[in-house]
Amino acid sequence: MRCDDARQELLAGRAAGSSDELDQHVRECAGCAAVASDQRALDALLAHDQPHVAGPGFDTRFFARLEAERAAGTKKRALFSMRMWLWALVPVAAGVALLVGRPKRDDAPVAPIETQGAPMLMEALGEGDPDDLELASDLELLEDLEVVQRLDELEAFELLSDIDPAELDRLAAEEGAP
């Protein structure tokens, strides 16, 4: 064993008698023997340090803390368990909501929606169910528009019906119409 290796071991707290190789080197090398002696002296001093012992009431305080920890753990587990149940219920609740909110197709006949006012829109929608509220609202607006337009046409027709045919011929002649 080389001196460097021996001293590394000794200074790291390895006792001289801990390995045959180290022991032999220390016996043969005066320098390393001095280092070993110093280290033994340090160990002897360190041995005077008495370990601190737990003071009175240490166990009582600890077991009180442990009890609180157990109680907190139980509460936490209960909360966790409840949360897990709630999370498990989410898909069930979503399924129920879908079933309740689903438009009735087969049960009761739904009043047909007047689509004549919005043929283009109905074409765009295809044969799909207009269950969207917004869409239904749009359709209603279109229907209203259709009704108003029809009323306008009706009024115009009535105006035309009030015109005298002779007067019409005269007006046409003035305009050069055939």
Which chain residues interact with other proteins by CB under 8 A? 7-8, 10-13, 31, 34-35, 37-46, 48-55, 58-59, 61-62, 65-66, 69
Considering beta carbons, is residue 51 or 91 the nearer one to other proteins? 51
Considering beta carbons, is residue 15 or 113 the nearer one to other proteins? 15
Burial of 23 (0-12, 13-18, 19+ CB in 10 A): middle
Q: Residue 133 Cβ, how far from other proteins at the closest point, in Å?
A: 50
Contacts of 17 (CB under 8 A, 6+ apart): 23
Asked if 76 contacts 69 with a C-beta cutoff of 8 angstroms, the reply is: no
Q: Residue 61 Cβ, how far from other proteins at the closest point, in Å?
A: 7
Q: Residue 45 Cβ, how far from other proteins at the closest point, in Å?
A: 6
Q: Residue 90 Cβ, how far from other proteins at the closest point, in Å?
A: 26
Considering beta carbons, is residue 51 or 109 the nearer one to other proteins? 51
Angle at 21 between CA 18 and CA 45, to 5 degrees: 35
Dihedral angle computed from the Cα positions of residues 56, 59, 64 and 65, in that order, rounded to the nearest 10 degrees: 110
